[in-house]
Chain A
Amino acid sequence: MLEQRARAPGELIFNLALLVFSLFACWQAWRISGFASLSSAGVLPMIATFTMAISALFIVAETARARPQPERGGLQRFAAEVTPCRLVIFTLMIVGYMLALEPAGFVLSSFGFLFLAMSFLYPKGVLINFTVSAGSLAIIYFIFRHVFSVVLPRGWLF
Chain B
Amino acid sequence: MEAVSYFFMAWTDPSLLAMVAVGTLAGIYVGAIPGLSVTMAASILISFTFKWPVEDALALIAGIFLGGVYGGSRSAILLNIPGAPSAVATALDGYPLAQRGEAGSAIGVTTVMSVIGGFVGILALAVAAPAISSFALMFAPRDYLLLALIGILLVGSLSGKSLAKGIFAGALGVTIGMVGMDPMTAQGRFTFGSLNLMGGIPYVAAMIGFFGVAEALYQLRTIDLTPVRQKVSSIIPDWRLVWKYLPLSLRTSAIGVVIGALPGTGGDIASLMAYDHAKRSVKSPSRPFGEGAYEGLVAPESANNAAVGGAYIPMLTLGIPGDAVTAVIIGALYIHGLKPGPLLMVETPHLFWFTVGSLTLANIFLLVFGLTGIRVFSKIVECPKGVLIPLILVLSAVGTYAIQNNPVDIYWMLGFGILGYFMKVYGFVVAPVILGVILGPLMDVSYRRAMISARGDVATFFTEFMTSPLSLALTLFFLFIVFSQTPLWQRLTGRTKVNVDA
In contact, B397 and A98 (Cβ under 8 angstroms):
yes
In contact, B418 and A45 (Cβ under 8 angstroms):
no
Secondary structure of the B side of the interface?
Answer: helix
For A82, give its contact among B48, B174, B187, B425 (CB under 8 Å).
B425
In contact, B386 and A150 (Cβ under 8 angstroms):
no
- Closest chain A residue to B188 by CB distance? A32
In contact, B164 and A144 (Cβ under 8 angstroms):
no
- Closest chain A residue to B394 by CB distance? A110
B222 to chain A, nearest CB (A): 11
In contact, A43 and B447 (Cβ under 8 angstroms):
yes
* CA gap between A29 and B174 in the complex, in Å: 12
* CA gap between A33 and B444 in the complex, in Å: 14
In contact, B174 and A44 (Cβ under 8 angstroms):
yes
A125 to chain B, nearest CB (A): 13
- Closest chain A residue to B184 by CB distance? A41
A42, CB-defined interface residue at 8 Å = yes
Given contacts A55-B168, A90-B220, A98-B407, contact A132 B387 (CB under 8 A): yes
In contact, A144 and B48 (Cβ under 8 angstroms):
yes
B206 to chain A, nearest CB (A): 15
Secondary structure of the A side of the interface?
Answer: helix
* CA gap between A90 and B219 in the complex, in Å: 12
In contact, B385 and A84 (Cβ under 8 angstroms):
no
Contacts of B223 in A (CB 8 A): 86, 121
Contacts of A11 in B (CB 8 A): 426
**B-contacting residues, A124-149, CB 8 Å:** 132, 136-137, 140, 144, 148-149
B445 to chain A, nearest CB (A): 9
A58 to chain B, nearest CB (A): 4
In contact, B448 and A39 (Cβ under 8 angstroms):
yes
B287, CB-defined interface residue at 8 Å = no
B421 to chain A, nearest CB (A): 8
A152, CB-defined interface residue at 8 Å = yes
Given contacts A39-B451, A41-B184, A86-B220, contact A140 B175 (CB under 8 A): no
Given contacts A114-B391, A121-B390, A122-B386, contact A101 B175 (CB under 8 A): no
In contact, A150 and B414 (Cβ under 8 angstroms):
no
Contacts of B168 in A (CB 8 A): 18, 22, 51-52, 55-56, 59
- Closest chain A residue to B417 by CB distance? A94
A23 to chain B, nearest CB (A): 13
Interface range, A side: 35 or more
**B-contacting residues, A37-69, CB 8 Å:** 37-45, 48-49, 51-52, 55-56, 58-59, 62
Contacts of A104 in B (CB 8 A): none
* Max chain A Cβ within 10 angstroms of own Cβ: one of B175, B217, B414: B175
In contact, A150 and B418 (Cβ under 8 angstroms):
no
B residues at A contact (CB < 8 Å): 48-49, 51-52, 162, 164-165, 167-168, 171-172, 174-175, 178, 182, 184-185, 187-190, 213, 217, 220-221, 223, 384-387, 389-391, 393-395, 397-398, 401-402, 405, 407, 410-411, 414, 418, 422, 425-427, 436, 440, 443-444, 447-448, 451-452, 456, 458, 461
In the complex, 9 of the A-B residue pairs with CB atoms within 8 angstroms, ordered by the A residue number, are A32-B189, A38-B458, A39-B448, A45-B189, A102-B407, A121-B387, A136-B391, A137-B394, A150-B398
A residues at B contact (CB < 8 Å): 8, 11, 14-15, 18, 22, 25, 28-29, 32-33, 37-45, 48-49, 51-52, 55-56, 58-59, 62, 82, 84, 86-87, 90-91, 94-95, 97-98, 101-102, 106, 110, 113-114, 117-118, 121-122, 132, 136-137, 140, 144, 148-153
